[in-house]
Amino acid sequence: MATTETPPAAWTEDLVRFLQSQPGIAAVRVNPTDRKLSVATLGPVDTARLAEHIGEVLHAIEHKLSEGGKRTAAPAGFVVKRSGDTTTVERPTCVTAPGFWRWTDYNLAEEEDAHDHGHGDEWRLLSVLAATCGVAGLAAFAAGRLGAPGWLVPALYGAALIAGGWDATIDTWKNIRRKKLDIHFLMLAVAVGAVSIGAWGEATLLLFLFSASGAMEAFALDRTQREVSALLHTAPKLATVIGPAGEEHVVKAETLKVDDRLLVKPGDMFAADGEVVKGQSSSDESTLTGESVPVDKAIGAQVFSGTINLAGVLEVRVRRLPSESTLQKIIRLIQTAQKLKAPSERFTDKFGAGYTLLVLGLTAAMFLVWWLGFQLPAFRNEPDRFSAFYRAMTLLVVASPCALVLSIPSAILAAIAWGAKHGILFRGGAAIEKLAEVDVVALDKTGTLTTGELAVISYESFPAGREQEVRELAFALEKNSTHPLARAITQHARQVGTRVREVEQFESVTGQGVRGKFAEGSVVLGRRELIAAGPFASWLEKMPAADAEFSEIWVLAPGLIGRVLLKDRLRPESRGVLAALKAGGIVTVMLTGDRRHTAEAVARESGVSEVRSGLSPEGKVAAIAGFGKAGHKVAMVGDGVNDAPCLAAAYVSVAMGARGSDAALEQSEVILMNDRIENFLSAHRLSRRARRIIKENLLISLGTVVVMVTTSLFGFVPLSIGVLVHEGSTVVVCLNSLRLLLGKNR
């Protein structure tokens, strides 16, 4: 039953439908006046998919709002509450549940603003307007000095003011319709005030610098959005499918299904994430990782949508639908990240709204103080002193929070863009700020510090000296299998040029191994248990098992017994990453469910500071919680389903992107694409650099305001100097943030 006294607005139906389609959402609230939408979650949700649905709801609400706020019947089965301008729709629940809800804010105006300001030509238009303002202003100044006709100077200044204030006027009108005031209104108010006292030059200088800083802001935003646009354009549109009879036909990429076989020729894009089943080649994966070095591809290798096949012809089996491909996940994650605000950015948003009203009030009060208290002329400057209105306009300029408003979002967006280009996805500005604060990095072993793929270490034969024969038999039996152990044996055999032998009467023994018939007789390959069930059981008992860090596969042939030893290899980059983190004063901890012997062997090889082995998922969570209770801020790096709980418990969660499970990706705030562990080091350096630049921006913007407001209160600052210094700080802030795009964080 609805608790509203009046029927809910028509767009409430859209909120109800949204809740019905999103079981992970407990409540949603909308404030049409402030153009805010917030959702409450209880537990983990797929934020990328949620953002897509929210976009649809935003469009629907915007359309309904434009119809004039029609009313409808209260929705059955949901609770509708109204408090002022805010409407909340909740699922029926217990009274204690709202205390555990986690609210996330979205801006109703984002879709409209993206449409108005998201295209790449906006900064060019603003640059032209700013240049027109500057040229016309200089021409007016020169005309006045050269004694031009009386009508020419005001006409040139008028053209300059129109060009410089055009964009600010459009934004101000939109905000007034939303009952909102911001810095654009302040700038226009100052310009009008300056003109009213005859300060045409100061008004023109103000709008020129303001429009120039706006053009720079748009340029910075365009650079960040260009990375997403590039990914969207690289998304493949067509694919060549191989039919059951070997026929080829071209289809749209979005129609592909799992297990479809694709033919990918040199120069073609991979249309979906998949696995190579035939052929050898290399691929350009720079769109996903930023790495320009081609990656070799052979049978069993993974390929990713949007990357390019460079050399040979490949046949690929589709493993993920195009809509769930790595490329599409990247696009959704970046788009979501750009909408999620960092904690400091949310602070400046709240600070800015009240600050604008404070500045307007202070300006009006000081005008009265100067006029009535100090007996200054109200509007007309005198040779030895400025008027009260002139001083008020100067105070209004220098107190406006232009640079402050841009200081944080410009740096956050630049950092997100740099990361996206180099294979690091930040799910919002909060992740960037938090990652810079960590002092402990916990890492899973398998798939994070190690490759997660077993590799052949050696072959043994009994009697000794027949290792090559063991390798040939193992290769012949495993070459048609897709089991991870078989894939490792096959890849190693091909790398060393092993002779291909024909096998007859091939048979798979479920859960144990395989057997086949060769010229010399029947050969069995499998686990120790398979061999132990035969006549060699007593002999096998005398053979020591492989060390805990190895996996073993036995080969039994007439007159020959052999063993293949395999091991999960350490990532080549892991040692350098851990050494760099330790050099930076960060403690590294390996959390693994493996036995102590195996874990310690990897720890010695990698150089990790501390090892905790034999942990269940609950044990990993307890370890993370223990660090938190000790006052540490922990970043957890993992990839598997069993890592999802401890990722959720960490201060910052980081997932390996290519091999990472959906559960791990959903819990992660930072994603390292293509499983490049060295990108964690780049992400950490980027976050620390971004935080440093944010602090610099805040110091520049707030410092300028404090100094200029103080001097303005004593009447020491002419309006022209106030305009130049204050708007100049905005330009400096934008340029400082752009350093994140242009610099190197590796």
Task: Let me know the angle formed at the C-alpha of 208 by 205 and 211, rounded to the nearest 5 degrees.
Answer: 145
pLDDT at 208 over 70: yes
Q: Could you read off the pLDDT of 101-146 as tens digits, one per residue?
A: 767 666 544 434 433 444 456 778 888 888 898 899 889 888 888 8
What is the reported pLDDT for 327? 59
pLDDT at 529 over 70: no
Asked if 548 and 598 count as a contact pair (C-beta separation under 8 A), the reply is: yes
| H or E element that contains 116 | helix 110-117
Asked if 434 and 669 count as a contact pair (C-beta separation under 8 A), the reply is: yes
The Cα 593–Cα 617 span in angstroms is 8
pLDDT at 153 over 80: yes
Write out the E strands in 559-617.
Answer: 560-570, 587-591, 610-612
pLDDT at 211 over 70: yes
Residues 6 or more apart whose CB falls under 8 angstroms from that of 604 comprise none
The Cα 403–Cα 492 span in angstroms is 59
The Cα 179–Cα 357 span in angstroms is 13
Write out the E strands in 527-603.
Answer: 551-557, 560-570, 587-591
Give the residue, 705 or 116, on which the prediction is more confident. 705
Rounded to two decimals, the pTM is: 0.57
What is the reported pLDDT for 1? 37
Structure tokens at 652: 């910052």
Number of H helices, E strands in the chain: 24, 27
The Cα 368–Cα 389 span in angstroms is 9
Would you give the DSSP letter of residue 382? Answer: B
Q: Average pLDDT of the chain?
A: 75
Query: Residue 245, CB half-sphere, CA atoms under 13 Å: how many?
Result: 2
pLDDT at 494 over 60: yes
Instruction: Compute the average pLDDT of residues 560-567.
Output: 86
The Cα 14–Cα 16 span in angstroms is 5
pLDDT confidence of 632, banded at 50, 70, 90?
Answer: very high
Write down all domains in the chain, each with its CATH number in brackets.
Answer: 12-112 (no CATH), 122-226+337-414+689-742 (no CATH), 238-271+273-319 (2.70.150.10), 452-570 (3.40.1110.10)
What is the reported pLDDT for 12? 60
Strand partners, 445: none
pLDDT confidence of 183, banded at 50, 70, 90?
Answer: low
Scanning 279-427, the segments in alpha helix (DSSP H) are: 286-289, 326-339, 343-368, 388-399, 402-421
Choose the weakest-confidence range: 168-182, 215-229, 303-317, 376-390.
215-229
What is the phi/psi pair of residue 78, to 5°?
-130, 155
Of how many residues is the chain composed?
A: 746
What is the reported pLDDT for 292? 45
Report the percentage of the chain scoring pLDDT > 90: 7
Choose the weakest-confidence range: 81-90, 147-156, 584-593.
81-90
Q: What is the largest CA-CA distance in the chain?
A: 115
Give the residue, 140 or 346, on which the prediction is more confident. 140
Instruction: Compute the average pLDDT of residues 696-700.
Output: 90
What is the reported pLDDT for 514? 81
pLDDT confidence of 317, banded at 50, 70, 90?
Answer: very high
Per the listing, tokens 């797929």 go with: 46
pLDDT at 6 over 60: no
pLDDT confidence of 262, banded at 50, 70, 90?
Answer: very high
Asked if 315 and 262 count as a contact pair (C-beta separation under 8 A), the reply is: yes
Asked if 719 and 194 count as a contact pair (C-beta separation under 8 A), the reply is: yes
What is the reported pLDDT for 85? 64
Instruction: Compute the average pLDDT of residues 286-296.
Output: 57
Catalytic-labelled residue, pool 444, 568, 594, 639 = 444
Task: Name the residue among 35, 70, 65 with its Cα closest to residue 178.
Answer: 35
pLDDT at 344 over 50: no
What is the reported pLDDT for 498? 86
pLDDT at 169 over 70: yes
Choose the weakest-confidence range: 147-151, 249-253, 688-692.
147-151
Instruction: Compute the average pLDDT of residues 298-314.
Output: 82
pLDDT at 8 over 50: no
Q: Exposed, middle or buried by CB within 10 Å (0-12, 13-18, 19+), for 377? A: middle
Strands 504-509 and 513-518: antiparallel
Residues 6 or more apart whose CB falls under 8 angstroms from that of 608 comprise 443, 449, 578, 588, 589, 590, 602
Q: Which of 266-275, 638-647, 659-668 has the highest mean pLDDT?
A: 266-275
What is the phi/psi pair of residue 90, to 5°?
-125, 150
What is the reported pLDDT for 159? 92
DSSP secondary structure string for all residues of 37-90: EEEEESS---HHHHHHHHHHHHHHHHHHHHTT--B-PPPTTSEEEEETTEEEEE
pLDDT confidence of 696, banded at 50, 70, 90?
Answer: very high
In Å, how far are 57, 249, 263, 272 from 256, measured between CA atoms? 28, 12, 13, 8
Give the residue, 197 or 72, on which the prediction is more confident. 197
**Active-site residue 349, yes or no?**
no
